[in-house]
Amino acid sequence: RLAVPGLNADRNQPVGVLIDPETQWAYVAMGPANRIAVINAKTFTVEDYLLVGERVWNLSFSPDYSRLYCTNGVSNDISIIDLTRHKVVKSIKVGHFPWGLVVKP
């Protein structure tokens, strides 16, 4: 069960998931919890919750799987996560209410 510590249960809403086929890390967009759950897909253990923008929606990998991008619908930005460190490295303002995301080389 996914549950961000310290948040009401109604804010823990998984809305999107991606799995890196090489490393077997799973990344789950947690919607109104404003976080991405980092899960070891081999053991099903939640390793971390990364704080991103408001109302995280969808996720996309960079072509080389070194970065994860997520849309944050309420804060009108995209967060960029370094997957070697599992750290948010940048936020980029975009248009109103971003939802979908495709990363293309």
pLDDT for the residue 3:
87
Domain ranges in the chain are 9-93
pLDDT for the residue 102:
87
Structure tokens that stand for 46 in this block: 């939640």
Long-range contacts (CB closer than 8 Å, 24 or more residues apart) made by 69-72:
69/101, 69/103, 70/29, 70/36, 70/101, 71/98, 71/99, 71/100, 71/101, 72/34, 72/98
Which CATH number, 2.110.10.10, 3.90.600.10, 3.40.50.12780, 3.20.20.70, labels domain 9-93? 2.110.10.10
pLDDT for the residue 46:
96
Question: CA-to-CA distance for 97 and 26, rounded, in angstroms?
Answer: 25
pLDDT per residue of the chain (105 residues) written in tens, 0 to 9 = 788 988 998 899 999 999 999 999 999 999 999 999 999 999 999 999 999 999 999 999 999 999 999 999 999 999 999 999 999 999 999 999 999 888 887
pTM of the model: 0.93
